[in-house]
């Protein structure tokens, strides 16, 4: 990997190093292209970029409480829709009882993040147990069902007409962030063989082109005796992620990328030490990210850059306006009130704008936009 040197233009008062040692009394805002990979300029403002006094229009930041989504203990393929665009669909699904049928998504790969609960997943490739904090990656058109050991809540992220792949870890190598050896795949074990049957009726609910099909078999289609290859269902738990860190510089969210699909990425924020260098920003810097919508699902802990956010909530920041830490979080970061973060969150950055689904509209906190207001300095 090589890159030509570039020497940015400078005007007025600036810091020598982005996100560090800001000029006295200023707030830094990053204006960037292509997420955090394209050209960027860092502005140094006299007032916080989120210091608006009033907001009119639909581009405002949104917050939803998925804990208030009505229980949808039914077909996961028709679970309540939170957000969507042509590349991705984000749903929330509760499952209290075992599935006595199979589902198959013909529209794209699925990433299931287990927010609550544990259980067993049965699929074409075999059996895989899961617990809270697991990502389950299910290739397109795979038959699957789950049997909960306790009530399960899933954040479902469909890569519409696309596939999930790993991120390029660049010069840090393939074993950084997580070692591929940590991934666990579905296996044809005794538990899988025990659920096979040849003399009972099974239904497969197939979603294709956003329409449902029902296929009936006189046997259980999960009847594989073996398989070989490198396409399968697998899981990764956030507890096995070892984040990239820098004690002198706040790394952008892209450093925490976990999965990549067409038109969006999934990042995972896990506990880590907070920057210790006196001049380094201790919380996410204000930024525009003008090419991507940003969605964060809060799984557990206290998210250090947000105020009044609890597990199970989702925030959506459309591209094109500045956002960053809440005022209280910014002040706490300046005081170095914490030595490490304790949050776990899933972030989805999408290249195309996202539309709100019915479940998001029904559970939105309309006052969330006001929580970003920063009193102007004298």
Known binding positions for Fe cation:
287, 293, 323
> What is the distance between the alpha carbons of residues 126 and 88, in angstroms, rounded to a whole number?
26
Using the 8-state DSSP alphabet, how is residue 325 labeled? S
DSSP 43-86: EEESS-TT--S---STTS-EEEEGGGSPP--S-GGGPPEEEEET
State yes or no: is 175 an active-site residue. Answer: no
Among 275, 200, 188, smallest CA distance to 232 is for: 188
Specify binding-site residues.
Answer: 287, 293, 323
Half-sphere exposure of 366 (CA within 13 A, CB side): 4
What's the sign of the alpha-carbon dihedral 217, 220, 221, 225? negative
CB neighbour burial string for 356-376, b if at least 16 within 10 angstroms, e if fewer: bbebbeebbbeebbebbbbee
> What is the distance between the alpha carbons of residues 75 and 206, in angstroms, rounded to a whole number?
10
Q: Is 327 helix (H, G, I), strand (E, B) or coil?
A: helix
52, with CB counted inside 10 A (0-12, 13-18, 19+), is middle
The residues, ordered by sequence, that sit 6+ positions from 346 with a Cβ below 8 Å of its Cβ are 113, 155, 266, 267, 268, 269, 296, 297, 299
> What is the distance between the alpha carbons of residues 126 and 111, in angstroms, rounded to a whole number?
17
**Given 127, 250, 299, 317, which residue is catalytic?**
250
Half-sphere exposure of 234 (CA within 13 A, CB side): 14
Specify binding-site residues for homogentisate.
Answer: 323
Q: Which residues are catalytic?
A: 250
């Amino acid at each position: 990997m090589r890159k030509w040197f570039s020497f940015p233009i400078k005007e007025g008062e600036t810091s020598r190093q982005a996100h560090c040692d800001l000029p006295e009394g200023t707030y830094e805002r990053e204006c960037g292209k292509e997420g955090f990979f394209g050209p960027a300029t860092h502005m140094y403002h006299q007032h916080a970029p989120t210091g608006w006094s009033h907001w009119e229009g639909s581009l405002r930041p949104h917050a939803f409480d998925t804990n208030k989504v009505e229980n949808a203990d039914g077909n996961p393929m028709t679970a309540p829709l939170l957000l969507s665009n042509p590349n991705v669909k984000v749903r929330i699904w509760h499952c209290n009882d075992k599935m006595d049928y199979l589902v198959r998504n013909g529209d794209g790969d699925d990433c299931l993040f287990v927010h609550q609960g544990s259980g067993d997943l049965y699929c074409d490739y075999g059996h895989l147990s899961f617990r809270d904090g697991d990502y389950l990656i299910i290739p397109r058109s795979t038959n699957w069902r789950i049997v909960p050991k306790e009530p399960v809540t899933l954040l479902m992220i469909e890569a519409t007409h696309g596939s999930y792949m790993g991120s390029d870890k660049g010069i840090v190598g393939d074993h950084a962030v997580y070692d591929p050896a940590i991934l666990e795949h579905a296996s044809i074990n005794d538990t899988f063989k025990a659920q096979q049957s040849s003399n009972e009726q099974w239904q497969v609910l197939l979603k294709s082109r956003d329409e449902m099909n029902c296929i009936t078999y006189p046997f259980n289609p999960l009847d594989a005796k073996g398989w070989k290859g490198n396409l399968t269902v697998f899981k990764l738990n956030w507890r096995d992620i070892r984040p990239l860190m820098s004690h002198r510089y706040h790394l952008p969210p892209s450093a925490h990328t976990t999965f990549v699909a067409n038109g969006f990425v999934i990042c995972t924020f896990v506990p880590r030490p907070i920057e210790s260098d006196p001049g380094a920003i201790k919380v996410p810097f204000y930024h525009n990210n003008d090419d991507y919508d940003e969605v964060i699902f809060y799984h557990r802990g206290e998210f250090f850059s947000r105020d009044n956010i609890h597990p199970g909530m989702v925030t959506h920041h459309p591209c094109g306006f500045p956002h960053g830490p809440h005022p209280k979080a910014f002040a706490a970061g300046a005081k170095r009130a914490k030595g490490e973060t304790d949050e776990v969150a899933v972030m989805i950055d999408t290249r195309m704008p996202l539309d709100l689904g019915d479940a998001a509209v029904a559970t939105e906190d309309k006052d969330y936009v006001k929580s970003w207001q920063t009193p102007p300095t004298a």
